[in-house]
Amino acid sequence: MSKASTDLIHHPYVPPAGFAAPQPGVYKASTVIFPNVAAVRARNWKSKAGYTYGLHGTPTTFMLEERIATLEGGLQCLLVPSGLAAVANVDFALLATGDEVLLPANVYGPSKVLAENELKRWGIGYQLYDPMDPADLRSRIGSRTKLVWVETPGSVTMEFAPLADLVQVCRERGVLTALDNTWGAGLAFNGFEAGCDIVMQALTKYPSGGGDVLMGSVVTRDDELHVRLKFTHMRVGYGVGGNDAEAVLRSLPSMEVRYRAQDQAARQLASFMQGRSEVALLLHPAFEGSPGHAHWQALCGQRDLAAGLFSVVFDERYPTAQVDAFCDSLKLFKIGYSWGGPVSLVVPYDIPAMRPQWPHKGVLVRFSLGLEDPADLMADLEQALQVFAR
């Protein structure tokens, strides 16, 4: 376990007088009651030193904000209704008509769809850069570039970027960087130590861990930047419910245990799949030969941590229908997006349709590990692989 786990469990929290339990209470309110008119007139809804309105925070959401900031090694945190809303919060706060945002070519898909629609409609341009090539990023940064998103590894194709080099390029050009840290989850590496200005995460994944909450976070280490993000957050009406915040608070103390278990299980199953003749390519950054393995080693090698995700590219002799039949034959692995919950999942992706530059012809399947017994999951893979013998 890391210090983060201890800090998440022994977090400063003062329970109500006479009730000395370490578990936080759940507060829910659409508003608070002011003692008199003078207090309403004196209210400063922009400050989080006090409570003014449910949307702007309750003791429960303030506590979760503090804990997520602790997890990421940051100072300030905003909570939003989904991971995608966290991406939108950053884009809306920092970009204006005429600006441009740069996204890695393997960016979380809906982040690109947002750029292609709302951002484009508002006169904000975007370009994709090669996340494995800092020189390509450098060549694309221009006077209009106001924000660069970084994300590593790509959550489907799993190539691990040279994060510090990418961030260095942005620093040299004075451009803000925002990291989508859903994969690292604040455990595998520290986004701020890597030089990022903003670290967002889909709390939907590992921090929730239950597959039953949608939430996102936007963490910073700079008051001024936080305030810019917070004002947009307030103006667009982003808020999270008390019960959802409580569900994440309840899951945080076990997060590192789950992350480590899912990491171990993923490596065990990835290794098994790598040895199969049906598989042309294993994509998992902790494995030698996987794209960007050396970059993973540099950033996460000391902690030796990776999320419980891997992809395989099946040999091109197997048509899509046969790979689909493999996925359909799995019994414990369910077919579905997302990750970090108790149920193991698979999704096939048509990468050539998504990424014209992709060099492999076979069908890609992404596996996300839940919390089942890895031996049972291995047996499930073995029985489903029989579809390739037919």
Q: With b meaning 16 or more CB within 10 Å and e meaning fewer, what string describes 276-311? A: eebbbbbbbbbbeebbbbebbebbbeeeebbbbbbb
Q: Is 347 in the site for ligand PLP (CB under 6 A)?
A: no
Looking at beta carbons only, is 95 or 279 nearer to ligand PLP?
95
CB of 267 vs ligand PLP, minimal distance in Å: 19
The verdict on 182 binding ligand PLP (CB under 6 A) reads: yes
Q: Are 218 and 65 in contact (CB under 8 A)?
A: no
Taking each helix axis from N to C terminus, what angle separates 223-236 and 83-94, rounded to the nearest 10 degrees? Answer: 110
Return the range that interacts with ligand PLP (CB under 6 A); candidates 79-87, 97-105, 189-197, 256-264. Answer: 79-87
Distance from chain centroid for Cα 50: 30
State in angstroms the smallest separation of the CB of 190 from ligand PLP: 17
CB neighbour class for 241 (10 Å; exposed up to 12, middle 13-18, buried from 19): middle
Does 180 bind ligand PLP (CB under 6 A)? Our answer is yes
Q: 76-80 and 216-220 as β-strands: parallel, antiparallel, unpaired?
A: antiparallel
By CB under 6 A, residue 186 contacts ligand PLP: no
Angstrom distance (rounded) from CA 60 to CA 296: 35
Measured in Å, how far apart are the chain's first and last C-alpha atoms? 45
Region from 63-71, 82-90, 263-271, 366-374 binding ligand PLP, contact rule CB under 6 A? 82-90
**Residue 238 C-beta: closest distance to ligand PLP, Å:** 12
**Binding string, residues 99-138; x marks residues near ligand PLP by CB under 6 A:** ---------x------------------------------
Query: By CB under 6 A, which span of 44-52, 68-76, 202-210, 288-296 interacts with ligand PLP?
Result: 202-210
Q: Is 217 in the site for ligand PLP (CB under 6 A)?
A: no
Binding footprint of ligand PLP on the chain (CB under 6 A): 82-84, 108, 155, 180, 182, 202, 204-205, 214, 216, 338
